[in-house]
Amino acid sequence: DADVTQTPRNRITKTGKRIMLECSQTKGHDRMYWYRQDPGLGLRLIYYSFDVKDINKGEISDGYSVSRQAQAKFSLSLESAIPNQTALYFCATSDPFVPGQGFYGYTFGSGTRLTVV
C-alpha cells in the first residue's frame, strides 16, 4: 500500500456541487498539507495541519475547507465548486523540522485530478 493514499484519483463534478477529496497516510507523520497544481504554476499551498488540533490557511485557501479527522486523515472540501478549481490536487506529509539536520521533505500522494464543468 502507498504511504499516502488519495481518493478519488479522478473526479468530474458540476459547478456548484460540494465535493470532498480524501487523504490518508501510514507514515505516522503529524504534518499534512494540501496543494493544487496548475501547469506552469508549480504547486500552491491550500491548507496545512501540524497536528490534529492545528489547521492553517495557505496561500490560496478561498473556496476550500479542510478537516483533520485523525493523525492519519486530512480531507479537503470544495463547498461550491467552480470551473477555475479544475486542477490536480496533492496531499503530502512530512516529518517535523530538526534544526541542524535540514528538512526531511514531503511524501506526496498520487494526486486527484478534479474537473469542474
Partner 1 sequence: TQLLEQSPQFLSIQEGENLTVYCNSSSVFSSLQWYRQEPGEGPVLLVTVVTGGEVKKLKRLTFQFGDARKDSSLHITAAQTGDTGLYLCAGDKAAGNKLTFGGGTRVLVKP
Q: Which is nearer to partner 1, 15 or 22 (CB)?
A: 22
Does residue number 13 form part of the binding site for partner 1 (CB under 8 A)?
A: no
Binding mask 67-96 for partner 1 (x = CB under 8 A): -----------------------x-x-x-x
Which of 35, 47, 64, 74: binder of partner 1 (CB under 8 A)?
35
Q: Which of residues 14-33 bind partner 1 (CB under 8 A)?
A: 31, 33
Does residue number 11 form part of the binding site for partner 1 (CB under 8 A)?
A: no
* Omega before 8 within 30 of 0, i.e. cis: yes
Q: How far is the CB of 80 from partner 1 (least distance, A)?
A: 27
Q: How far is the CB of 101 from partner 1 (least distance, A)?
A: 8
Residue 24 DSSP SS3:
strand
Pairing of strands 112-116, 10-13: parallel
d(CA 85, CA 78): 9
Residue 34 burial (10 A CB sphere; 0-12, 13-18, 19+): buried
Q: Which is nearer to partner 1, 7 or 14 (CB)?
A: 7
Query: Using the 8-state DSSP alphabet, how is residue 114 labeled?
Result: E
